[in-house]
Amino acid sequence: MEPTLTDASPAAARLPEIIKRLRIAHPDATCALDHRNALELLVATILSAQCTDERVNKVTPALFARYPDAQAFAEADREELEQAIHSTGFYRNKAKNIQEACGRIVVTYGGQVPATMEELLTLAGVARKTANVVLGNEFGIADGVVVDTHVKRLSQRLALSKQSDPDKIEKDLMALTPRDEWIDLSNLLIFHGRRVCDAKKPNCAACTISSLCPSATGR
């Protein structure tokens, strides 16, 4: 008989069951940014920095209709692009990054978003989180784990990592999980963070993984 898992069990023992329960609770867990191709996902992910996915999804339909490819973004009037993405915040820096990234995509990659971590990291505004989003959700390539604010919070609450730096949290999650689980793990934690494990008021009473969580209250 296998030992009963509890919130005191080692992270490596708890995580497979956590993933199993989250899959049941959130069968629709996938990338929440609306997109039709790798370029749209790249731009949407850049826009999502310090902005909700809901807000980005309100902006991108008109944005992608106006700028349908990397060439169009690269050649856009900067002020017009800034105005188009203004409501996502930090619009000047985001517009600059989008244009510089798209310019490199046109010149270096023939207008196509590259599909390797190394190449994506050469694009303006792209760090590991953005690269992982694009690789995992558009190309199906598991090169790492997306660590956004939700994944960071849940990783700490679930005692999957003691780190606060996203890159270090990512390494911990990668070490705990088989590569073929990396893409799903981030999407599941993100959905659970949005729907149940809120930053200010987690709903532990309704949480399917509370018995495996050292931070759960009211048990």
Residues 6+ away with beta carbon under 8 Å from 72: 66
> Looking at the annotation, which residues are catalytic?
129, 148
> Tokens at residue 205, please?
């009473």
Closest by CA to 39, choosing from 63, 68, 66, is: 68
Place of tokens 């991108």: 60
Residue 132 sits at the vertex; the CA angle it makes with 45 and 136, to the nearest 5 degrees, is: 100
Residue 154's H or E segment, with its range, is helix 149-157
Q: 3-state DSSP call for residue 36? A: coil
What amino acid is encoded at 71 in this protein? Answer: Q
Closest by CA to 105, choosing from 38, 17, 31, is: 38
Phi-psi region of 4 (alpha: psi -120 to 50; beta: other; left: phi over 0): beta
Q: Give the DSSP letter of residue 183.
A: H
Residue 102 sits at the vertex; the CA angle it makes with 115 and 147, to the nearest 5 degrees, is: 55
